[in-house]
Amino acid sequence: MKFKNAILPLVIIALLGLFNACVNLSQNSASDISSTLQSTKPGSVRAKYKKITPYQAKERIDSNKDVIIVDVRTVEEYNSKHIAGALLIPNESITDEKPQLLPNLNDEILVYCRSGNRSRQAANKLIAIGYTNVSDFGGIIEWPYETVSG
């Protein structure tokens, strides 16, 4: 009987530790975890996911004429309102191959969508393909600067 009484507290502690680990893991999204993993190519390390503010994105756009702005929304969303000069590459069209509109893996790429969800997914997909300088600046709903239609 003493043996059972001594084991019970240890079992409870172990279960609480396991539960705590599961809760902490579930609070991280799969994209957060995957964005920090190394690529499957031997000897190469994948770039990490970067989140920047619309203000930081605007600074990059204004200071670097070679920066590429990528809108990952649908054609209809893009036509209603988008950032001038943005390339339309819908998130759903980004697979495991380089998009034709983005031939250089080392170009600086700024990605946005409507609210920030698809841009996060797209940024992580581009990083997984091998792009080295990708930043997500969230959604156009947070963009306080000029946009164009059409």
Nearest of 122, 133, 132, 68 to residue 95 by alpha carbon? 122
Q: Phi and psi of 21, rounded to 5°?
A: -65, -40
Mean pLDDT over all residues of the chain?
A: 82
Q: In 3D, which of 93, 102, 90, 97 has the Cα closest to residue 129?
A: 97
Residues 89-106 have a mean pLDDT of: 97
Least confident window among 8-17, 104-113, 121-130: 8-17
89 half-sphere exposure, CB direction, 13 A CA radius: 24
SS3 (DSSP) at 12: helix
Q: Is the pLDDT of residue 62 over 90?
A: yes
Residue that the structure tokens 């240890």 belong to: 10
Find all residues with CB under 8 Å of 145, minimum gap 6, and list them: 54, 58, 83
Residue type, 17: G
The CATH architecture annotation of domain 54-142 reads 3-Layer(aba) Sandwich (3.40)
